[in-house]
Chains A and B, each alone.
Chain A
Amino acid sequence: MITMETVLKHGRTVWDHTLLPEDEFRERLVTVRAEMRRVELDAIVVVGHAADHGNLSYLTGLVPKMGWTAAIVGQEGDPTLVSMSGPRELPSLKSLTWLTDVRTSSSLFSGAAAGLLYAVGDHVEGGRSIGLVGARENLYHAAYYDLVLALGDYELRAGDGVVAGPRERKRPREITALRRGRALAREAAGAARRAFQEGASNAEAVMVADRAARMGGADDVRLLANIDGYGFAPRESHSSRRREPLVLYCAVELAGYWGEAAAGAAAGHEPTAAHRAVEAMMRSVTPTAPVAQLVEAAIAELPEGEQDIALSYGLGGGIGLAATERPTLRLGSGEYLAPGNVLTLRALTREAGELACATETVVVGADGMSSL
């Protein structure tokens, strides 16, 4: 899994009304509420974090920049948003979501329990069933236990699938957002490639990609490259050393949606193991293919001894409001592809001592797949 979380997403911070208008979120809410009724949940408490905001952003449009934010969704009425931010941030928060009931904590260090308990009480009566979504993962453990204790008058259940399920099949506007993210990632990787061709070092080329992505409106950027001769690494200091060729992995987040791209050996070279692995995965994509089938296809193309590290980077999976989401390409997966999935297929590996990276993003359709 590619991680490298920043302390604060500090790129372009807007709610793009033109791409994701209010009606888009209301439609999503209809779908999620149907799922809530199916599993007999009266409400859900969706806790997101800057590092794991997919479920929260899907419903609210807000991409939290630091720490936790939660949404309370009942069966009726608009959801309520509660942020860890203090009251100073309220005007800014309100401009970043379609929701009008936006609340903040009394301070940055307030726990989640008190604020969420009041908000939950505004949506559902005691004794009713509440699904917790992302709370275990996105709150410090003490804050999570406090929340569970505070909601003791309710019937609490895990509710993650209620939002994660609908997210697996991308809506048309999500496809557009993903296409834009992919284009920006490619633009950033291309800028790095050109800078390298013009004499920049690998580390400098990474900075060129970072700047290009941010100038293009990215709210977050993740870059790995062959900077130090040992393996893929983030740029952490200046280096004027050049290592041929530049091999770069680039992920950008634009309007909350991720896109990936790679830069590697110049055109005309033999396909690398990374490219062969990605192509093998693409050949395995069918509307109902078992996910494990894609993983096995990729592994068969990876050099002996490099499979484990490639799996550690991750071979990809669903891409959307998270860089890797369900279905996840991992060994032994019991998941199946379905029409509407958008997949990033990724391979970062080493062959004959040289690093190689390839990515492709595909849309799974009822009749097959297409490149995003």
Chain B
Amino acid sequence: MTIGDSENSLQRAARDGRLAAVREKMSTHGFDVIVAYGSGRHSFLGGNACWYLSGLRQVGEHAAVLLPREGEPVLVTTPAWDAGRARRRSWLDVVVATDDLLVELARMVRDRGMRDHVAGLAGHGQAPAAVAERWGELFDSPPTDATHLLKSSARVPDAWQFSLIERGVTIAEAGYERLREIARPGMREYELAAEVDTAIRSLGADDNFQLLSASQHNPAVRQPGDRLLHEGDVILAEISPSVDGQFTQICRSVVLGEASDIQRQSFAMQLAAFDAGRRRATPGIPVSDVAAEMNAVLAERGYEKYNHPPYMRTRGHTMGLGALAPLDVSESNHTILEEGMSFVLHPNQYFPECGYLLCGDQVVIRETGAQSLAARPPQLDVLEGEVAE
């Protein structure tokens, strides 16, 4: 096998490691072949099985890797016009681009003599009914669920994925620096969002889950609207670049003008919760304990009511397209943390005295706790002296 334009040793190792790990589990579970499906309606919270095995962030509606236990894996992606890009960016040697995924998969299965194989499906939960209803046409016997084969090997990012995460955090921080440079009264929210988005995409992000809004009292964080920034506003920014399909996130709050005492006190509480969560998040600890630790910091100060929706959503979460664990950081998630797991930890929530605040970083689980990957830790930033209109 060769890797195209983006050849490097980390990517090669990721490809070899992922294929070998999944194939080993295929043997254990008796699968001859698996079809790893990817939806082009990407989720920044969820995994994409096709991306995991092909290294390609698809631009079309559907894609899949046909992975036999032995022999050459094949990437079938849509649309047909994306053939050139897909061949250059995927780490698989055999890449076919088509406008009809199922027709092409059926041809592949037939031509390679796989119709009577024991087949599994991974990532197929994201398929719409029109695709799901045709899986059974591919093989003599209906394929069964094999998503768990990928989940067990994708819990912890490999070195290539981790390098993407690190690059993503660097880009996110640069985007936030751009925000701090240019935010000023009189600017509209969506204009500031456009400038931040341009900054991070110029640095190599291929997508961005970005919420950016501002208010004197934010009820939540949301997409940018027409509001004019004004002195005293708290600007909230969830900046989440994707690099080669892997998302990362930082969550920041910045006051346009002088921060009030109550804003500082609220953010200090939030930061204390963040730090408590980081200390608690060590290998072997259930995710629920981390969420409980963060919630306790706020509850002790009288904010227990605000540890629940609609005042917050979650204390953190995995980031697509690669990570499949530990999902949401909540008290109902009992997934055990493992060294090397990476996700965003964020005690983002509403405070009745000053509104919603954001405070969070992409972290990696180490023996000593969750290590923040950002060079500049979250803080309540203030753009003082720059707010005169």
| Residues of A in contact with B (beta carbons under 8 Å apart) | 1, 3-14, 49-51, 65, 86-92, 95, 106-109, 136-142, 144-145, 204, 207, 210-211, 214-215, 217, 228, 230-238, 308-309, 312-313, 348
Contacts and interface: CB of A to CB of B under 8 A. Distances in A.
B210 A10 contact: yes
Contacts of B78: 3
B44 interface: yes
B125 A312 contact: no
Given A88-B313, A215-B191, A7 B79 contact: no
Contacts of B212: 10
B242 to A, nearest CB: 7
A235 B224 contact: no
A235 B197 CA distance: 14
A137 B85 contact: no
Nearest to A237: B204
Q: Is the interface of A mostly helix, strand, loop or mixed?
A: loop
Given A7-B320, A13-B222, A51-B41, A88 B312 contact: yes
A5 B206 CA distance: 11
A108 B126 CA distance: 15
9 contacts: A7-B207, A7-B242, A8-B208, A10-B224, A13-B222, A88-B311, A92-B223, A139-B128, A237-B204
Contacts, number: 164
Contacts of A204: 202
Given A7-B207, A86-B310, A138 B61 contact: no
B310 A236 contact: no
A195 B385 CA distance: 34
A8 to B, nearest CB: 5
B201 interface: yes
B132 interface: yes
B222 A231 contact: no
Interface in B73-109: 78-81, 84-85, 88-89, 99
A196 to B, nearest CB: 16
B118 interface: no
Contacts of B164: none
A142 B208 CA distance: 28
A211 B195 CA distance: 7
Nearest to A142: B125
Contacts of B128: 136-141, 144
B185 interface: no
Contacts of A141: 127-129, 131-133
Contacts of B210: 8, 10
B44 A7 contact: yes
Nearest to B206: A236
Contact of B61 (A3, A10, A11): A3
Contact of A88 (B99, B132, B247, B310): B310
A217 B190 contact: yes
A89 B222 CA distance: 8
Contacts of A313: 79, 81
A49 B126 CA distance: 13
A7 B320 CA distance: 10
Given A12-B224, A140-B127, A214-B194, A108 B320 contact: no
Interface in B202-259: 202-204, 206-212, 219-220, 222-226, 242, 247
B169 interface: no
A217 B310 CA distance: 29
Contacts of B41: 5, 49-51
A88 B220 contact: yes
A228 B197 contact: no
Closest 4 CB pairs of A and B: A214-B194, A13-B223, A87-B310, A141-B132
A278 B17 CA distance: 48
A289 B220 CA distance: 51
A312 B80 CA distance: 6
Nearest to B131: A141
Contacts of B206: 234, 236-237
A233 B84 CA distance: 9
B130 interface: yes
Contacts of A144: 128-129
B197 A214 contact: yes
Contacts of A87: 309-310
A346 to B, nearest CB: 12
A312 B190 CA distance: 33
A67 B122 CA distance: 21
B265 interface: no
Contacts of B64: none
A248 to B, nearest CB: 15
B84 A214 contact: no
A86 B133 CA distance: 30
B198 interface: yes
Contact of B209 (A10, A90, A215, A217): A10
Nearest to B58: A3
B193 interface: yes
Given A10-B224, A51-B41, A233-B85, 4 more contacts: A13-B224, A140-B126, A230-B85, A231-B84
B125 A231 contact: no
Given A10-B208, A87-B309, A235-B201, A136 B129 contact: yes
Nearest to B78: A3
Nearest to B210: A10
Contact of A215 (B40, B130, B132, B194): B194
A111 B310 CA distance: 18
B12 interface: no
A140 B223 contact: no
Interface in B129-157: 129-133
A238 B132 CA distance: 37
A7 B58 CA distance: 12
A8 B190 contact: no
Contacts of A214: 190, 193-194, 197-198
B3 interface: no
**A1, A3, A139: which has the most chain B beta carbons within 10 Å?**
A3
B296 interface: no
